[in-house]
A and B are shown apart, each in its own frame.
Chain A
């Protein structure tokens, strides 16, 4: 029943859609973000290896599930980026898990960036400017995700004119407003989206006491204080709420805020000073029969960051420092009459220096180092444990006492060798650390996963990656090509012990075991940049393996996110000034899965025996999506109709595969594959002024 409600929600929420081209990029903000242009030539000239510059305007043309434009889903069309599965908002980068991605919205950390359990992204494309996805090789000023960093910037409001736009779908609506607060001195941008699935539920006798809705809101305020000083405030809130009468509730969401003071010393020297706050909370509760269960968790960051960029001759220096006070509640729960809580604090710091050095016309280097510091703070119990996860000693330090400090230097190197005007080679190495550890009991990330952070027992997760690549562009820039190979080692990856679940004990360190992983592969991509037909083809060949004591006899095993081949084809065709067509086709090798190798009987019940972890493959996944967009300029507005077909040839792709013992059947076991979606048509309408 709950699943039914969820599916209804997922489906009906699709009809609302708002489309607006990103056409309001102001020079004022260019200095504070790394992205200034997304042209093919810029892409080829990029010094950093393993980075994808994400153009929201382009990605918004790509067909999407239910017609809901989704920057996170669109990322999955890029080489080296994969979806967790069809309904998940999580993405996996170069053999990493979704939990190893760091998502920054105006420098504020966002967790579980999905509405409705991840079916839709929490980011409203109306509010976004652009983003950069660093696939594990990151410049020195970024850190915190061992698989990737997705650095997203919101748009600045127009300082000269007012704009208003909105869309009203069947069940969700979006509105965006922007304009000057004081002409040429300050501006605002407000973008909001809300589903109104709950109104439909209220109209039904059966579902009227249930809750199912989400909303998100972005606000950005810009102030030009002087010729050299610029102040920006950006706020974000995304929230989901689901409820089944008064028996079950689920709430989760992110709240972030960033204040940024940009000061320009000269044309070649500027500084950003930021105060950043982010708060991710989750809250689940069940009150049914005699069972009363609630669990609440949160992660709060309060950060101060100062960064300077200085162009000196052939050097572009980027240096700075940041300090974060971190509060993490892995859980606070009520299990009937039992109340327990695990909450900890920490200080996280970083000092970095990076230099983009143009050695000569042919060679450019990006050299950097990040000094990573993590101090576990007192005010909560800390444990010593035996190998089975039993507590043998508990110590409670006073609040503010430093229990343990981890410090290490993370080198960041990227080199570009221009073979000629149109071709270059790249090489890179990067070490990254992650101190927030999501522990998921499922193959996909969920809003209710428990989190822990580095402690006296849990060590920082650390990844080393090397990559080598080539990029080339044709003389007129009509086509560009890239090829990259990578190898990654990762340490201190944590997962639940066999038989333990998130609710087994409040002390999460009793439930987990650490291990290591490795991933390697190759990515190819070709873009067509000009003409009525544009788009790209990407191919990824990859391997991903894990080794955790107690799993698979302590031997290396194929990771659940290992998929050998991934292909994505994206095409956009300007049929006429008003009609634009778009299509995507994707293919990937079936997901690795664990299947039984024998069965046995205990107390009259038959159980399966599993010999090899992820030793089997699900059937391959492939899907074609189509969309057509009609844009008409009216006297004072622009009207857009968008039509889409998701899964156009109705491929029933595997979502789950279940093994059911059936002693009545001659095969003894029935293997059931469930597909989530058949053909899903969509339509949306939007109007902007």
Chain B
């Protein structure tokens, strides 16, 4: 019987086919992209332009813009910082306050507002093995405090890893290891969690180049930042992610006809984990 299944799998593997094809993209004129954040850790705004689909060089921040953040009681001008390639200020956000972004660039005016939610202190973050069919999956699990259990809360997270593995020697990446958004629907009262599959143990053993991005190697350092965000920003990130597959653009909360978003959010960080697969425990429900 088992042979039959193997034969069927083989036939199907031969039947399906994935190949790269040539494609003639309809290019458009560059569009202004604004990414602005006011957090409890500082304030920055990055102004770039969209680039060609076939361009492999990341955009740099455009200089010459007038950028300000206004609250009820003050206005802060952000100046361009070459080291971080962004407009920056040491101004830190305060939960419950509303912030207004104003950008004047190339004869156009852009603005947005965002109210900063309270932070979500992190309770725990760790890796586990989960058995699934005849495999084990590496899972990252994070628990945090829901700052407002009576209302639906929204979160953005970003996981970064720094690897010294030879596969990544001489390579720099700005991409996170993982990112996403979540809300607290159905979570245990006062808590919120992330359960995230990383890679299967078999893939980690096989170590194919196409899986390097998802495989974690011994010695990799892993950190995660969790940020509480407004429902509008949550919808933006959800639409951004879904639209990449569905062919739709998210609606920016910035007026003036640009891409991007402006948010005010409270960030918390996990402790840094130095990954060692031999130390990873089996996942149990009570975790």
CA–CA, A674 and B14, complex, Å: 13
Report B28-40 CB contacts with A as 1/0, cut-off 8 Å: 1011010100000
Question: Which residues in chain A, 585-642, are within 8 Å of chain B measured between CB atoms?
Answer: 593-616, 619
Q: Which of the 9-residue segments B116-124, B128-136, B161-169 touches chain A?
A: B128-136
Q: Do residues A599 and B51 form an inter-chain contact, with CB atoms below 8 A?
A: yes
Whether A289 sits at the interface, judged by CB under 8 Å, is yes
Q: Which of the 9-residue segments A44-52, A202-210, A428-436, A576-584 touches chain B?
A: A202-210
Whether B58 sits at the interface, judged by CB under 8 Å, is yes
Whether A392 sits at the interface, judged by CB under 8 Å, is no
Provided the pairs A498-B243, A676-B16 are in contact, do residues A335 and B186 lie with their beta carbons within 8 angstroms?
Answer: yes
Q: Do residues B53 and A668 form an inter-chain contact, with CB atoms below 8 A?
A: yes
CA–CA, A338 and B184, complex, Å: 10
Nearest-neighbor residue (CB-CB) of B236 within chain A: A499
- What's the nearest-Cβ distance from chain B to residue A548, in Å? 11
Provided the pairs A206-B134, A678-B15 are in contact, do residues A671 and B235 lie with their beta carbons within 8 angstroms?
Answer: no
Provided the pairs A206-B133, A207-B133 are in contact, do residues A610 and B247 lie with their beta carbons within 8 angstroms?
Answer: yes
Q: Do residues B247 and A593 form an inter-chain contact, with CB atoms below 8 A?
A: yes
Provided the pairs A1-B133, A602-B35, A603-B35 are in contact, do residues A669 and B186 lie with their beta carbons within 8 angstroms?
Answer: no
Q: Do residues B18 and A499 form an inter-chain contact, with CB atoms below 8 A?
A: no
Inter-chain contacts of A373 with B (CB < 8 A): none
Provided the pairs A11-B8, A205-B134 are in contact, do residues A289 and B56 lie with their beta carbons within 8 angstroms?
Answer: no
Q: Do residues B16 and A674 form an inter-chain contact, with CB atoms below 8 A?
A: yes
Q: Do residues A596 and B8 form an inter-chain contact, with CB atoms below 8 A?
A: no
Q: Do residues A599 and B242 form an inter-chain contact, with CB atoms below 8 A?
A: no
Inter-chain contacts of B22 with A (CB < 8 A): 671
Whether A667 sits at the interface, judged by CB under 8 Å, is yes
Whether B280 sits at the interface, judged by CB under 8 Å, is no
Most B Cβ at <10 Å: residue of A504, A597, A616, A679:
A597
Q: Do residues A663 and B2 form an inter-chain contact, with CB atoms below 8 A?
A: no
Whether B50 sits at the interface, judged by CB under 8 Å, is yes
Partner of A678, one of B5, B14, B20, B51: B14
Whether B82 sits at the interface, judged by CB under 8 Å, is no
Q: Do residues B15 and A498 form an inter-chain contact, with CB atoms below 8 A?
A: no
Most B Cβ at <10 Å: residue of A170, A601, A663:
A601
Q: Do residues B235 and A245 form an inter-chain contact, with CB atoms below 8 A?
A: no
Q: Do residues B8 and A499 form an inter-chain contact, with CB atoms below 8 A?
A: no
Whether A336 sits at the interface, judged by CB under 8 Å, is yes
- What's the nearest-Cβ distance from chain A to residue B197, in Å? 9
CA–CA, A7 and B14, complex, Å: 12
Q: Do residues A290 and B251 form an inter-chain contact, with CB atoms below 8 A?
A: no
Provided the pairs A608-B53, A671-B21 are in contact, do residues A499 and B238 lie with their beta carbons within 8 angstroms?
Answer: yes
Report A189-210 CB contacts with B as 1/0, cut-off 8 Å: 0000000000010011111011
Q: Do residues B16 and A598 form an inter-chain contact, with CB atoms below 8 A?
A: no
- What's the nearest-Cβ distance from chain B to residue A604, in Å? 3
- What's the nearest-Cβ distance from chain A to residue B275, in Å? 19
Q: Do residues A663 and B193 form an inter-chain contact, with CB atoms below 8 A?
A: no
Q: How large is the interface on A (under 10, 10 to 19, 20 to 34, 35 or more residues)?
A: 35 or more
Question: Which residues in chain B, 1-30, are within 8 Å of chain A measured between CB atoms?
Answer: 1-2, 4-5, 8-9, 11-12, 14-23, 25-28, 30
Partner of A8, one of B9, B18, B193: B9
CA–CA, A498 and B4, complex, Å: 45
Whether B73 sits at the interface, judged by CB under 8 Å, is no
Whether A457 sits at the interface, judged by CB under 8 Å, is no
Provided the pairs A205-B134, A609-B259, A678-B16 are in contact, do residues A599 and B186 lie with their beta carbons within 8 angstroms?
Answer: no
Partner of A499, one of B19, B21, B57, B239: B239
Q: Do residues A8 and B19 form an inter-chain contact, with CB atoms below 8 A?
A: no
Chain A interface, DSSP helix/strand/loop, else mixed: loop
Question: Which residues in chain B, 173-195, are within 8 Å of chain A measured between CB atoms?
Answer: 173-176, 179, 185-188, 193, 195
Whether A680 sits at the interface, judged by CB under 8 Å, is yes
Q: Do residues B5 and A200 form an inter-chain contact, with CB atoms below 8 A?
A: yes
Q: Do residues B56 and A602 form an inter-chain contact, with CB atoms below 8 A?
A: no
Provided the pairs A206-B134, A595-B247, A665-B56 are in contact, do residues A8 and B8 lie with their beta carbons within 8 angstroms?
Answer: yes
Q: Do residues B31 and A609 form an inter-chain contact, with CB atoms below 8 A?
A: yes
- What's the nearest-Cβ distance from chain B to residue A110, in Å? 28
Partner of A501, one of B18, B133, B139, B242: B242
Q: Do residues B50 and A598 form an inter-chain contact, with CB atoms below 8 A?
A: yes
Q: Do residues B243 and A610 form an inter-chain contact, with CB atoms below 8 A?
A: yes
Whether B48 sits at the interface, judged by CB under 8 Å, is yes
Q: Do residues B51 and A598 form an inter-chain contact, with CB atoms below 8 A?
A: yes
CA–CA, A602 and B254, complex, Å: 14
Whether B240 sits at the interface, judged by CB under 8 Å, is yes
Q: Do residues A664 and B56 form an inter-chain contact, with CB atoms below 8 A?
A: yes
Q: Do residues B260 and A602 form an inter-chain contact, with CB atoms below 8 A?
A: yes
Q: Do residues A599 and B53 form an inter-chain contact, with CB atoms below 8 A?
A: yes
Inter-chain contacts of B174 with A (CB < 8 A): 601, 604-605
CA–CA, A11 and B236, complex, Å: 40
CA–CA, A679 and B49, complex, Å: 46
Question: Which residues in chain A, 306-334, are within 8 Å of chain B measured between CB atoms?
Answer: 334
Whether B248 sits at the interface, judged by CB under 8 Å, is yes
Inter-chain contacts of A408 with B (CB < 8 A): none
CA–CA, A247 and B5, complex, Å: 22
- What's the nearest-Cβ distance from chain B to residue A202, in Å? 9
Nearest-neighbor residue (CB-CB) of B128 within chain A: A289
Q: Do residues B251 and A669 form an inter-chain contact, with CB atoms below 8 A?
A: no
Q: Do residues B248 and A8 form an inter-chain contact, with CB atoms below 8 A?
A: no
Partner of B59, one of A601, A605, A672: A601
Inter-chain contacts of A337 with B (CB < 8 A): 186-188
- What's the nearest-Cβ distance from chain B to residue A447, in Å? 20
Report B185-228 CB contacts with A as 1/0, cut-off 8 Å: 11110000101000000000000000000000000000000000
CA–CA, A191 and B55, complex, Å: 59
CA–CA, A657 and B21, complex, Å: 9
Report B229-251 CB contacts with A as 1/0, cut-off 8 Å: 00000011011101110111111
CA–CA, A600 and B20, complex, Å: 22
Inter-chain contacts of B25 with A (CB < 8 A): 595-597, 669
Whether A380 sits at the interface, judged by CB under 8 Å, is no
Inter-chain contacts of B19 with A (CB < 8 A): 652, 672-673
Whether B141 sits at the interface, judged by CB under 8 Å, is yes
Inter-chain contacts of A499 with B (CB < 8 A): 235-236, 238-239, 242-243, 248, 250-251
Q: Do residues A203 and B1 form an inter-chain contact, with CB atoms below 8 A?
A: yes
Partner of A607, one of B4, B8, B139, B244: B244
Inter-chain contacts of A616 with B (CB < 8 A): 23, 26
Report A656-689 CB contacts with B as 1/0, cut-off 8 Å: 0101001111111111111111111000000000
Inter-chain contacts of A607 with B (CB < 8 A): 240, 244
CA–CA, A595 and B247, complex, Å: 7
Q: Do residues A619 and B21 form an inter-chain contact, with CB atoms below 8 A?
A: yes
Whether A27 sits at the interface, judged by CB under 8 Å, is no
CA–CA, A423 and B40, complex, Å: 80
Report A408-422 CB contacts with B as 1/0, cut-off 8 Å: 000000000000000
Whether B150 sits at the interface, judged by CB under 8 Å, is no
Partner of A612, one of B8, B11, B26, B243: B26
Inter-chain contacts of A596 with B (CB < 8 A): 25, 53
Nearest-neighbor residue (CB-CB) of A676 within chain B: B16
Whether B158 sits at the interface, judged by CB under 8 Å, is yes
Provided the pairs A597-B25, A597-B28, A598-B53 are in contact, do residues A334 and B186 lie with their beta carbons within 8 angstroms?
Answer: yes
Partner of A604, one of B33, B176, B249: B176
Q: Do residues A610 and B248 form an inter-chain contact, with CB atoms below 8 A?
A: yes
Q: Do residues B249 and A671 form an inter-chain contact, with CB atoms below 8 A?
A: no
Inter-chain contacts of B276 with A (CB < 8 A): none
Enumerate 12 A-B pairs (CB-CB under 8 Å) in ascending A order.
A288-B195, A290-B195, A291-B195, A338-B186, A594-B246, A599-B50, A599-B53, A602-B33, A602-B260, A603-B176, A604-B176, A663-B57
Besides A593-B247, A669-B54, 8 other A-B contacts (C-beta < 8 A): A8-B12, A203-B5, A289-B130, A499-B236, A611-B26, A667-B54, A668-B55, A678-B17
Q: Which 3 A-B pairs have the closest CB atoms?
A: A499-B239, A594-B247, A604-B174
Contact surface of A with B, Cβ cutoff 8 Å: 1, 4, 7-8, 11-12, 170, 200, 203-207, 209-210, 244-245, 247, 288-292, 334-338, 441, 498-499, 501, 504, 550-551, 593-616, 619, 652, 657, 659, 662-680
